[in-house]
Structure 1
């Protein structure tokens, strides 16, 4: 299988969007104003308490809403036709149709999409999907000052896998981030990940 730059990037961002939606699903609806404000400040959202944040994530016009994030994931899935197996693509399409008929299914559908993609056997597809998930997790954990030890461990394994596969070396930037997991070092490492999509021809 040939995994082109655009394919790798779509898989990576699909991992990020599905992880983003699943985390938001785990928090919604927000009840505590303090928790809601932490979230809005971390992601620079125009909300001022739990109620206004709940309204924002349900507003289909808002970029941070369930609807908009799901559309981003949907676009990435459609761009992967011919990359993932026909069976998986058909299953994903069916799930997308369910969510389009009833927006209340978005959380369940995203979890099922995640399961379908994890079942794919292609090594590089799983690698970039997992990388997207873990990068999204670490971004959120740094922003919200959450525990990140397990995510750092998982990213360490993925970083080593990238090196072993000869995709590209991210060792130096990764070691910097591992020593000091803050926003500055995260974005530096993220720039190195972006460079993958200029080089990938697997």
Structure 2
């Protein structure tokens, strides 16, 4: 299989969007102002208390809402048609549709989509997992949460990606381990974007 850089990036972002939805769902509804303000400040959201943040998350007009995040994920799935199996494509679309129709289903959708992607080729699943880990690292740094286990997982993923030509990713991650803060993360993100644009991921 030949996995184009653009396809790899779409899989990566699908992982990021779904991981973002999963964490937000685990916190929603926010119940105290301190947690709400911490989250809103970390992600530069126009909310000033529990009520305004909960309303924003449900407001389909807001880019940080569940609705927008699912639309981003849906767009990525559409772009992967023909790359992933017809069965996986149908299941991903159905899962996202169910979550949009029934809010109670949102917290389950990421796990189910994860299982769908894991059944695809190892290379496809690695880019999906990479996206999930990068999203998790971003959130942990913004909210000042522990990142040690995520860094370990990223090292494992990047080691598995070397055989498909992504050697530079290990070098980029190594630089981050020397500066494990938001500035280092932005440099990691820039390095990853550069690899998606010019790196090799053919197999």
Tell me the TM-score normalized by structure 1: 0.93
Q: Which residue of 2 aligns with 1:42?
A: 42
Q: Which residue of 2 aligns with 1:9?
A: 9
**Which digits, 9 at most, give the CA deviation of each residue in 1:44-77, with x for residues without a partner?**
0000011110000000000000000000001101
The alignment partner of 1:170 has SS state of helix
Does the Cα contact within 8 Å between 2:165 and 2:200 map onto a contact in 1?
A: no
**Which digits, 9 at most, give the CA deviation of each residue in 1:22-45, with x for residues without a partner?**
000000000011011110010000
Is the aligned partner of 1:139 residue 2:142? Answer: no
Change (3 A) 1:66 1:184: same
Question: What is the rounded CA distance, in whole Å, between the counterparts of 1:101 and 1:173 in structure 2?
Answer: 40
Runs in 1 of length 4+ with deviation above 4 angstroms? none
RMSD: 1.6
Unaligned runs of 5+ residues in structure 1 are none
Tell me the TM-score normalized by structure 2: 0.92
Q: Which residue of 1 aligns with 2:64?
A: 64
* C-alpha deviation, 1:168, in angstroms: 3.6
* C-alpha deviation, 1:21, in angstroms: 0.1
Aligned residues: 201
Question: What is the rounded CA distance, in whole Å, between the counterparts of 1:103 and 1:26 in structure 2?
Answer: 12
Question: What is the rounded CA distance, in whole Å, between the counterparts of 1:163 and 1:115 in structure 2?
Answer: 24
Change (3 A) 1:4 1:28: same
**Which digits, 9 at most, give the CA deviation of each residue in 1:57-100, with x for residues without a partner?**
00000000000000000110111111111111121222233234
Question: What is the rounded CA distance, in whole Å, between the counterparts of 1:129 and 1:196 in structure 2?
Answer: 16
- Aligned runs of 1:143-182 on 2, under 5 Å? 143-182=142-181
Question: What is the rounded CA distance, in whole Å, between the counterparts of 2:101 and 2:143 in structure 1?
Answer: 33
Unaligned runs of 5+ residues in structure 2 are none
